[in-house]
Amino acid sequence: MTRRSYDQYCAVARALDAVGERWSLLIVRELLAGPRRYTDLHADLPGVSTDILATRLRQLESEGVLERCRLERPVNVSAYRLTPRGEALRGVIEALAAWGAEGLGEPRPTEAMRGHWFTGPVTAPVSPGP
C-alpha cells in the first residue's frame, strides 16, 4: 500500500502524514493505557481488518510513534507501546475526545462500545449510553 502525503511544508500536514490515516489515532488511544498485544488491539478496535492493523502498526513504528517490546514475565509476549513521541499525542487525543463528545449523542444499535473508552486514560466528559 502506497503511503499518501499532503506534500506540504506545514506542521499540521506533516503530523497528518504521520498519524492521519484511518485507525492510526485509535491505535494510539488504545496504547495510551500501556503496552498491548496485537490480538488485544485487534479485539478492541472493532471493524479494523488484520491487514490494515498490521499496516498501521508498521507505519506508526516507522514514524517513531510506537515500538515493539516484550512484556515482562509471566506473560513474556511481544507487544506494542508508545514512544515518547507517541505519548506526546495524549493531549491531541484528549482534545479530540472533548470535541467529539459534543456530538456523540445516543449510541446507534450498530456501534461497538468498550468500557475502557469511557474509563481509560482518555475519557470524554460524557457517560456511555442511557
Residue with cell 516507522: 62
Distance, in Å, from the CA atom of 52 to the CA atom of 56, rounded to the nearest integer, reads 6
- pTM for the model: 0.86
- For residues 109-122, average pLDDT: 78
- Residue 15 in 3-state DSSP? helix
**Across residues 53-75, what is the average pLDDT?**
94
Can you tell me the distance from the alpha carbon of 19 to that of 45, in angstroms, rounded to the nearest whole number? 16
CB 46 within 8 A of CB 6: no
Would you state the CATH architecture of domain 11-119?
Orthogonal Bundle (1.10)
Structural domain boundaries in the chain: 11-119
Q: Is the pLDDT of residue 121 over 60?
A: yes
